[in-house]
């Protein structure tokens, strides 16, 4: 930008200097023709005038950049007036040269036309011609008409010069002005673009650094763009997923998504919670907004999907709901458990008594069956009672690994009867305050679920390790996993999918975990399930 301006100004300056040089040349030639090539007083004056003209032109261009408009005007006027005065002085000093005084009139005209433009040039041409005519009348004592006639050609040339050079100067000034305007406009445009570019850059950073995952799809739900947060959350890179329909990530059927698309196509917004599958087939919950993405003409050309991972929040909600249910059931259990047990103990006692009588010797097996059933009912009540929130427990400092080792033979003995095996991976962990019986119960329940899920074939892995300041007990199976539709029911008392199950196993685990200031989490896939019991703050003492 500045470079263009400089070059243009330099061109103008060169043009002016060129005009000044031509001026000197004309002057010099005119004097030479008049007086031969000897350097006379008039020659010297002409040279000085021309030189001063060039220096003044240079100064003028130079000062123009440094001075304000008003001062520049003074300089312009002085620059025009100075040659006039010098010319007048030359003409008065050398009045009798044959061509000198006539041609000398061209100098101020050229200078004025160059600096002031057409009007200035013509005005000085008029002044010069008047002066020329007057000097003919005054010095040569000629009548006015004759004086005019004698100088007619020179006067015409003077006016022509003033008009021609002045027009070029005007043209140049005009084009300079226009160029400046264009440059200003261009500068404005560049600044506007720069601003727009900055805004666009910021916008792209917002999308890139957004903590929400952003997806742009066409109006059929086919993915066109995903932001880095989407990749972080789902594991799908942009190139893996572009072109796929967004419904493929969801757990809901494609028709469900089709309904959402229909709504958004109509210009409405859809928001709700969706269960999404990651690349590694884990699932997570997200709160999603689907909004129409419109072009400048207001037409919906795409869908914008903005979502936030709410798995943790959802987990907490589920946990709270589960604990509420557990507590309720636990309180009920505590209240009625004893009341039911006492009559049952009485009934069992009488059955035992009657069963020994000779009278019922043929029905002995029925008595045994009745008592077995009562025992089973009793054990369910025992388990049920352990759901009571304020159940008395006996916590002591134990090492979780020792507890696991103490029941290992039992777990392995069972395993040898079937086709599965139990593997232990126990890392070094600190002692914790635990109720031994309850911890054994958790391990038994989780291992039993695992074995049942594997249909008694495969490997159960029991691990202990430290993670993020917590001691973790993990029980992993190679079963078929927990189906999505029952995920939210896991841990609900009496929820079971097994014919002979009571649905209390996990409820008891959750209840025990709560009494141990720990929490239960799980990961499940068609290749197996892993339950974790995380003992909060258990490693803080280290
Ligand atoms: N490791 C697992 N793999 C697959 N599904 C499981 C697993 N653990 C639990 N489940 C599912 O959760 C349900 C509830 O488990 P829970 O242990 O509470 O009851 P149950 O095993 O059915 O009965 P109970 O433990 O009282 O004999 C099970 O019926 C099963 O569908
Ligand atoms: Mg179970």
pLDDT tens-digit readout, 345-373: 889 999 999 988 888 888 888 899 899 88
CA distance 278 to 504: 31
pLDDT tens-digit readout, 154-206: 888 889 888 988 888 888 888 888 888 999 999 999 999 999 999 999 999 99
Using the predicted structure, report yes or no on whether residue 71 has a pLDDT greater than 80.
no
Nearest CA to ligand 1 atom 7: 449
Atom number in ligand 1 closest to CA 492: 18
State in Å: Cα 444 to ligand 2 middle. 9
The percent of residues above 90 in pLDDT, for the chain, comes to: 38
State in Å: Cα 440 to ligand 2 middle. 14
Report pLDDT for 524. 93
Higher pLDDT, 541 or 80: 80
Q: Ligand 1 pocket: which of 386, 448, 505 to mutate (most atoms <8 Å of CB)?
A: 505
Q: Ligand 1 pocket: which of 449, 453, 491, 522 to mutate (most atoms <8 Å of CB)?
A: 449
DSSP assignment of 30-95 equals HHHHHHTTS--HHHHHHHHHHHHHHHHHHHHHHHHHHS-HHHHHHHHHHHHHHHHHHHHHHHHHST
CA distance 173 to 418: 104
CATH domain 396-535 topology = Heat Shock Protein 90 (3.30.565)
Residues in the chain: 542
Using the predicted structure, report yes or no on whether residue 449 has a pLDDT greater than 80.
yes
pLDDT tens-digit readout, 508-521: 899 899 889 899 99
Q: For residue 267, what is the DSSP state?
A: T
Atom number in ligand 1 closest to CA 531: 1
pLDDT tens-digit readout, 120-140: 889 988 988 888 888 788 877
Using the predicted structure, report yes or no on whether residue 462 has a pLDDT greater than 60.
yes
Report pLDDT for 210. 92
Report pLDDT for 197. 94
Give the up-direction half-sphere exposure of residue 286: CA atoms within 13 A in the CB hemisphere: 24
What is the overall mean pLDDT for the chain?
83
CA distance 149 to 116: 29
Report pLDDT for 194. 95
Q: Measured over all CA atoms, what is the biggest interatomic distance in the chain, rounded to whole angstroms?
A: 179
**Would you place residue 24 in the very low, low, confident or very high pLDDT band (cuts 50, 70, 90)?**
low
CA distance 288 to 212: 10
pLDDT tens-digit readout, 185-199: 999 999 999 999 999
CA distance 175 to 289: 57
State in Å: Cα 458 to ligand 1 middle. 17
Give the up-direction half-sphere exposure of residue 128: CA atoms within 13 A in the CB hemisphere: 36
Report pLDDT for 382. 80
Give the list of residues 6+ apart from residue 286 with CB closer than 8 angstroms, or none.
213, 233, 273, 274, 276, 307, 308, 309, 310, 311
CA distance 61 to 12: 9
pLDDT tens-digit readout, 481-501: 999 889 888 988 889 999 888
Q: Ligand 1 pocket: which of 380, 495, 498 to mutate (most atoms <8 Å of CB)?
A: 498
CA distance 240 to 359: 79
- Please name the residue that has the structure tokens 């074995």: 451
Nearest CA to ligand 1 atom 28: 496
User: Quick one: CA dihedral 394, 396, 401, 406, positive or negative?
Assistant: negative
Using the predicted structure, report yes or no on whether residue 4 has a pLDDT greater than 50.
no
Degrees, nearest 5: CA angle 392-396-398: 130
Nearest CA to ligand 1 atom 30: 497
State in Å: Cα 453 to ligand 2 middle. 10
* Average pLDDT score over residue span 448-471: 92
If we measure between CA atoms, which residue out of 150, 126, 125, 123 comes closest to residue 136? 150
Nearest CA to ligand 1 atom 31: 497
Nearest CA to ligand 1 atom 27: 501
**Would you place residue 542 in the very low, low, confident or very high pLDDT band (cuts 50, 70, 90)?**
very low
Using the predicted structure, report yes or no on whether residue 443 has a pLDDT greater than 80.
yes
pLDDT tens-digit readout, 398-410: 999 999 999 888 8
* Average pLDDT score over residue span 115-121: 86
Class of domain 210-309: alpha beta
CA distance 529 to 477: 6
State in Å: Cα 497 to ligand 1 middle. 7
Domain ranges of the chain: 2-184, 210-309, 315-385, 396-535
Pocket of ligand 1 (CB under 6 A): 445, 449-450, 453, 477, 479, 482, 490, 495-498, 501-507, 529
């Amino acid at each position: 930008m500045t470079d263009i301006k400089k070059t243009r100004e330099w061109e103008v300056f060169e043009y002016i200097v060129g005009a000044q040089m031509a001026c000197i040349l004309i002057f010099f030639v005119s004097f030479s023709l008049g007086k031969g090539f000897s350097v006379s007083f008039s020659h010297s004056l002409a040279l000085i005038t021309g030189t001063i003209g060039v220096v003044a032109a240079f100064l003028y261009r130079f000062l123009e950049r440094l001075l304000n408009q008003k001062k520049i005007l003074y300089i312009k006027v002085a620059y025009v007036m100075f040659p006039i005065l010098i010319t007048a002085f030359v003409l008065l000093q050398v009045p009798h040269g044959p061509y000198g005084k006539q041609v000398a009139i061209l100098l101020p005209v050229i200078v004025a036309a160059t600096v002031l433009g057409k009007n200035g040039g013509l005005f000085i041409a008029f002044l010069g011609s008047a002066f020329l005519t007057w000097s003919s009348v005054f010095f040569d004592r000629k009548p006015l008409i004759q004086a005019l006639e004698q100088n007619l050609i020179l006067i015409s040339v003077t006016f022509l010069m003033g008009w021609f050079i002045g027009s070029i100067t005007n043209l140049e000034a005009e084009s300079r002005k226009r160029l400046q305007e264009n440059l200003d406009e261009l500068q404005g445009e560049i600044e506007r673009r720069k601003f727009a570019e900055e805004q666009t850059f910021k916008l792209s950073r917002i999308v890139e650094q957004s903590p929400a995952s952003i997806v742009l799809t066409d109006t059929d739900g086919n993915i066109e763009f995903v932001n880095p947060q989407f990749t972080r959350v789902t594991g799908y890179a942009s190139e893996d997923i572009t072109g796929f329909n967004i419904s493929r990530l969801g757990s809901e059927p494609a028709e469900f998504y089709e309904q959402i698309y229909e709504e958004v196509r109509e210009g409405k917004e859809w928001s709700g919670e969706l269960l999404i599958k990651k690349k590694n087939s884990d699932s997570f919950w997200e709160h999603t907004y689907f909004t129409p993405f419109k072009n400048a003409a207001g037409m919906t050309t795409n869908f914008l999907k903005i979502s936030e991972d709410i798995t943790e929040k959802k987990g907490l909600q589920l946990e709270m709901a589960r604990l509420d249910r557990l507590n309720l059931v636990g309180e009920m259990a505590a209240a009625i458990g004893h009341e039911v047990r006492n009559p049952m103990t009485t009934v069992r006692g009488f059955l035992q008594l009657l069963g020994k009588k000779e009278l019922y010797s043929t029905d002995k097996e029925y008595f045994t069956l009745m008592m077995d059933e009562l025992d089973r009912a009793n054990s369910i009540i025992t388990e049920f009672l352990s759901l009571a929130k304020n159940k008395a427990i006996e916590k002591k400092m134990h090492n979780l690994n020792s507890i696991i080792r103490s029941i290992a033979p039992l777990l392995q003995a069972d395993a040898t009867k079937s086709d599965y095996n139990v593997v232990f991976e126990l890392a070094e962990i600190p002692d914790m305050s635990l109720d031994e019986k309850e911890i054994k119960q958790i391990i038994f329940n989780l291992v039993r679920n695992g074995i049942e899920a594997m249909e008694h074939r495969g490997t159960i892995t029991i691990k202990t390790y430290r993670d993020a300041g917590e001691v973790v007990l993990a029980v992993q199976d190679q079963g078929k996993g927990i189906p999505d539709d029952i995920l939210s029911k896991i841990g609900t008392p009496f929820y079971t999918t097994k014919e002979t199950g009571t649905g209390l196993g996990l409820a008891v685990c959750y209840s025990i975990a709560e009494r141990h200031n720990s929490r239960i989490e799980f990961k499940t896939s068609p290749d197996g399930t892993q339950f974790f019991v995380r003992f909060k703050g258990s490693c803080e003492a280290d």
